[in-house]
Structures are given as C-alpha cells and as structure tokens.
C-alpha cells in the first residue's frame, strides 16, 4: 500500500492507494471520517487485480491537518472539488466513486459536475436534503459524551477527545445550515445532472438516515438502482464487509 500527501487546492491531502487494477476507485469517508476509520476492510479486501483503490482524508480530517476543519456554506462542494482534483493529481483521468454518508453527498456533487470523469458511483447512508426529522436526529447525537465508548474511540484516537467533540459540534451546525435553504436542499438540483451508472445501498435499520432519502435518490438519479440490506445500519460496509464488497465489485464490473 502506498501512502502519501498530495498538494491540492492549497492543502496537503493524505491518501492511501492499493491494488494495481485498471479500474480506479476513490473511497469518500463520512463526517470527520478518514480512510483508516471508515474504509479499512475495503482497502484490505477489494479486488486488487481489478481495481486501484484510493482512500483519502478530506481537508481538516484525519491526517489532512492542518488546516483545522471548518464548515462554510459550501463545504460539500469544496470536498467534491478536492476529491476530483486529488485523483487528477494522482494521474487518474476517469474513475469510480464509493461514498459513505457525507462522502456520498460529496460523490454525488462530484459526479454531477464532472460527468466525463466519473465511471460509476456507489452511495450509501447519504441524503440530498435536510428535513426536520434529520435535524432532530443530528441534534440527538450532538453531545459526544453521550455516545458509547466504542463509538467514540476511533474518532478520539484520531483527534483526541477535545478536538473531536469540538469538530463534531461544528459539523452538526454545518449540516444544519442546509435546512435553511429551499426544501432543505444540499444537492437536490444536481441529481438530474448525474449520468453515470449509480448504485444506492441502504441499511433498513440505519438510525441516521430515514428510508425516504434513498427513495428520493432513486427517483431523481436517472437509471439508478437501489439495494436494500434488511439488517444494515449506518456502517453496513464495516458490519457486513463481505456482502458489501461483493455487491460493489459486481456493480463496478457490470
């Protein structure tokens, strides 16, 4: 596995690259996530002969610090631009996207704005708008001291307890600002611009993403497919790694 930092849009972005296949795939992590916390089993187990897999830490997350993370009104757009420019800087002119949670939002924006660059896309645990129900879900997890130690540990190992709590609180404020937009849109208007084959995966027991979100994506991303995992929660790719990886490999090679 190759590790490195690449200067992109004024920031040194950390990335990990594994495999030597002809099909490049970028893994996009969730809120405060990084390649190690969010995609260990994918970096380890996705087929290395068919795929070249790149994981990255978005600016202000994980090992792409400094800078400290902030959440301006365009933070998803900024991450999408960084992701595309990182892959270009690494020498990939066409690639697929695997986006989890916030990373799925970033992936959808990247695919909508760069149709010539994106081959295929898989998103899960993602949403195109923020509803009142979503706001209540975010608010319920704002105070990380109320999380289980098991849930906090990976993030505290990356950031330290104090920085994690502060950054998570800022994320809740950052995502909540979308609720003030018309219809709470994050990227609703971009979905019709997505032209690559798209697989939406949803865990039916996801406590953070109500079922109406994947249904909305299915309806508004033309030609997309929805795969439901009845026992899946938000981190279905970590909990059901073998099933998830097989599903993704089959879709990417279809």
Q: Which residues are catalytic?
A: 101, 206, 234
- Residues sharing a CB contact under 8 Å with residue 9, sequence separation 6 or more, in sequence order: 81, 82, 85
- Residues sharing a CB contact under 8 Å with residue 129, sequence separation 6 or more, in sequence order: 178, 183, 184, 185, 186, 188, 216
Query: CA separation (Å) from 68 to 65, 85, 121, 166, 169?
Result: 6, 20, 29, 11, 14
Q: What are the contacts of 67-70 at 24+ separation with CB within 8 A? A: 67/11, 68/167, 69/32, 69/167, 69/170, 69/171, 70/170
């Amino acid at each position: 596995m190759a590790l490195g930092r690449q200067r992109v849009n004024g920031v040194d972005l950390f990335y990990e690259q594994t495999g030597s296949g002809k099909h490049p795939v970028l893994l996009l992590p969730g809120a405060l996530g990084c390649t190690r916390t969010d995609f260990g089993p994918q970096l380890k187990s996705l087929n290395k002969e068919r795929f070249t897999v790149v994981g990255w830490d978005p600016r202000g997350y994980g090992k792409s610090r400094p800078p400290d993370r902030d959440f301006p009104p365009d933070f998803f757009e900024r991450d999408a631009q960084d992701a595309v420019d990182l892959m270009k800087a690494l020498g990939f002119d066409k690639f697929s996207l695997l986006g989890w949670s916030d990373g799925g939002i970033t992936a959808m924006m990247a695919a909508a704005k760069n149709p010539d660059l994106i081959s295929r896309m898989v998103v899960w645990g993602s949403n195109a708008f923020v509803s009142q129900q979503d706001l209540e879900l975010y608010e319920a997890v704002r105070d990380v001291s109320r999380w289980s130690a098991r849930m906090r540990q990976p993030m505290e190992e990356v950031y330290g307890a104090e920085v994690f709590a502060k950054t998570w609180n800022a994320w809740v404020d950052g995502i909540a600002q979308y609720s003030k937009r018309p219809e709470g849109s994050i990227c609703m208007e971009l979905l019709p611009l997505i032209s690559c084959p798209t697989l939406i995966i949803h865990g039916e027991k996801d406590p953070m993403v109500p079922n109406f979100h994947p249904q909305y994506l299915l309806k508004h991303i033309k030609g997309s497919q929805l795969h439901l995992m009845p026992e899946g929660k938000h981190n279905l790719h970590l909990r059901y790694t073998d099933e998830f990886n097989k599903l993704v490999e089959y879709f990417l090679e279809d």
